[in-house]
Amino acid sequence: MKRTIGTCYYPEHWPREVWEEDARRMAEAGLTWVRIGEFAWSRLEPEPGGYEFDWLDSAIAVLGKAGLRVVLGTPTATPPRWMLDRHPDMLAVDAEGRPRKFGSRRHYCFSHEGYKAECAKIVTRLAERYGRNPHVAAWQTDNEYGCHDTTISYSDAARKAFRLWLRARYGGPGNDGDIGALNEAWGNVFWSMEYADFDDIDTPNLTVTEPNPSHALDYRRFSSDQVVAFNRLQTEIIRAHSDAPIAHNYMGRVTDFDHYKVGADLEIASWDSYPLGFLEDRVPASVERQRHYARQGDPDFQAFHHDLYRAVGRGRWWVMEQQPGPVNWAPHNPAPLPGMVRLWSWEAFAHGAEAVCYFRWRQAPMAQEQMHAGLLRPDSAEAQGLAEARRVAAELAEAPDVGVSPPSVALIFDYDAEWAWAIQPHGKGLSYFELVFDTYRALRRAGHSVDIIAPDHRRLEDYKLILAPGLMHMTGGLKSALAESGAVVLIGPRSGARDRTMRTPVPLPPAIPGLDATVSHVESLRPDSPVSLASGGTIRSYREFLETGAEVLERTADNEPAVVARGKLIYCAGWLDADAMFRLVQNLSARAGLGTLDLPDDVRCRDTGTERFWFNYGACEHTVQGRSLPPISVTRETLT
């Protein structure tokens, strides 16, 4: 696999006379990909049915003549103002019942049939015109599904679509739905919530207190399926006219829809990597950690998403937008330390990225993103990131191809579990994502390369160690597959705690074949009241009490079993702090016959088939296993 770099460009923002010079400078810097078009609907169709493609024809020709390959985006994330005159009810509605107004982006509801028809028209026009264009070498659908909390809408269009979705899900005679089956599944006898007809069912917002969790979970699943259908509408049109691969650019920690299901209709998964912005607004980190990594980003957050989107893309993935300097949208927006743009780029390549594209080519002098750095300043002088991108391009030219080296460690991430935890966290701030991320961080500290896998992944024999924390619902097939995988398997906490309809199952969880352990009751813990473990460290946030005859690997200070094992099956009955989690990873690794390291917080490593990469996020030198790692550095070693 050849690695390459690119950028995101907006020819509609700049005078026609600068396009050739821009293209020449891109190619001179070693860029090979240019994404365009994803926000240009008002210039492509300034009035209904009045298409203007000449400028885009010219832009693609200019870029292609310079030897650049184009990723053409569909513009459906930014419907023009005239669209609201045609479809005034197309706006998404938030949980408080307020429409998401025009004046920014992503102002549409995935369920609105009229808007989807408009999207089909513009995508068809683009696919017909550019599907065989030799310079259009890839496509991108829409832009950042779900960003700005735009997956879940409570509009009239969504309400109608949800009722149809429920009829299909709870099928009855004539496939018209069985309202009795829904009432039973949701437990609607509780609080007299029983329905006589599917048309009685509303969206689960603006209720007096919390809505029925089964209702809320089905609404999350419905909302995710609407994103999948919206994306599929576009991919089917593009494929009818083009053989080029199709991607979508996901975001960091946007988990309101199932990326695996969206990815099934795409050839490439991509994501938008903003390490400094994400550290400020979505990485689970203390204030001290935020301060320490304010100009570097968290050493594990980008890597987690690299591994997640490698799974979503079934091995093929890109960084479609890489932060090259300060951004504009986080609570605080420091500039990266010199060398960080290069480090972020190489870390993506170490995790298997085919391409890293920097956002954006030139910093915009207008509108919402004026303060978002690009590879060029608004006056077209070079910004900090361009020199580092140029260095990456030169290094890529000398680097060996990427060899495939599947990791021996797998970590399951399940979007359905994320929704179940969000609906019923049982304690303030408890989050499935953060539990999985804490587990991932411990694996990285131990020096492991990790595959993140979906819960329906069944090639489990490829792994020696599999970790499945917090899987609220576990199918019988998944339980059996884990038990029979031959790997050392960690399950829990809160695994198998609910059935498919969000009811507590009997027998009580986790009900894993071959594991003698039953959760008798649970508690969520105050932040100032962790439970000490006898071997050091604590259980924080969430704790389970076990009835078990299994071997006890860890006990609490009050002598309750905290981690138990039966053969290669291990159950963890609580959310462990960092020290206890790392100790458990060391134990599990030894059981699996895997060696471990104990890396400093600043240092991480990643293996490919041919190289081991060492990344030092720290502003000071580190020595690890006799090797010196300079500050803010990438160190590559050939594997033999």
Catalytic residue among 321, 388, 554, 611: 321
Q: Are strands 409-412 and 450-453 parallel, antiparallel or unpaired?
A: parallel
H-state helical runs in 485-591: 578-591
| Residue 395 among the catalytic residues | no
Torsion of Cα atoms, 490 then 493 then 495 then 499, to 10°: 170
Total residues belonging to the chain: 640
Q: Sign of torsion, CA 471 477 482 483?
A: positive
Torsion of Cα atoms, 48 then 49 then 50 then 56, to 10°: 110
What is the rounded distance in angstroms from the CA atom of residue 181 to the CA atom of residue 201? Answer: 14
Computed over its alpha carbons, how large is the radius of gyration of the chain? 25
Catalytic residue among 45, 144, 347, 418: 144
Q: Sign of torsion, CA 565 571 574 575?
A: positive
What is the rounded distance in angstroms from the CA atom of residue 230 to the CA atom of residue 141? Answer: 10
What is the rounded distance in angstroms from the CA atom of residue 574 to the CA atom of residue 546? Answer: 10
Contact 152, 216 (CB under 8 A): no
Q: What is the DSSP string of 360-419?
A: -SB--SSGGGTTS--SB-TTSPBPHHHHHHHHHHHHHHHSPPPPP---SEEEE--HHHHH
Please give the angle made by the CA atoms of 304, 305 and 309, to the nearest 5 degrees. 125
Instruction: Give the DSSP letter of residue 313.
Output: T
Please give the angle made by the CA atoms of 352, 145 and 498, to the nearest 5 degrees. 85
Contact 416, 474 (CB under 8 A): no
Which residue has tokens 């091995």? Answer: 315
Contact 310, 346 (CB under 8 A): no
Q: Are strands 538-548 and 574-576 parallel, antiparallel or unpaired?
A: antiparallel
| Residue 144 among the catalytic residues | yes
Q: 3-state DSSP helix/strand/coil percent for the chain, to nearest 5?
A: 35, 20, 45
Please give the angle made by the CA atoms of 106, 110 and 114, to the nearest 5 degrees. 100
Q: Are strands 136-140 and 409-412 parallel, antiparallel or unpaired?
A: unpaired
Q: What is the DSSP string of 229-289?
A: HHHHHHHHHHHTT--S-EEEEE-TT--SS-HHHHHTT-SEEEEEE-HHHHHHHTS---HHH
Give buried/exposed letters for 131-145 (b at 16+ CB in 10 A, else e): bebebbbbbbbbbbb
Residues involved in catalysis: 144, 321
